[in-house]
Amino acid sequence: MSSYEETPDAPAPSPAPAKKSRKGVGAMSDQQKTQLRKHMAKMEKAGMSKAEMKSHRMKMMARMRKGMTVQKSHNDIKKASSK
């Protein structure tokens, strides 16, 4: 017997796990960025503090990357914060 023969006892190397793709989450378009900038200027005039502005912007960006509009994102945040 040669040492080059495969033995049935040897475990086969497992294939590398497939990478999961993040569907629906991507970079924001220039149009979305402009809309968000305009919305945030409006919120600043409404009297939001700097900390509230940052939190609101991050929440808006997360929703807008998923495909929501500015209005839907804002309403979703309001609805979530009222609970």
What confidence score (pLDDT) does residue 21 get? 54
pLDDT at 9: 65
Q: Which two tokens stand for residue 44?
A: 């600043």
pLDDT at position 20 is: 58
The pLDDT value given to residue 82: 82
Task: Match 């914060």 to its residue by tokens.
Answer: 81
Does the predicted TM-score (pTM) go above 0.75? no
| Average pLDDT per consecutive 10 residues, the chain (83 residues; last block may be shorter) | 61 65 71 95 94 95 94 93 80
Secondary structure (3-state) at 78: helix
- Residue 60 in contact with residue 39, Cβ under 8 Å? yes
DSSP class of 5 = S
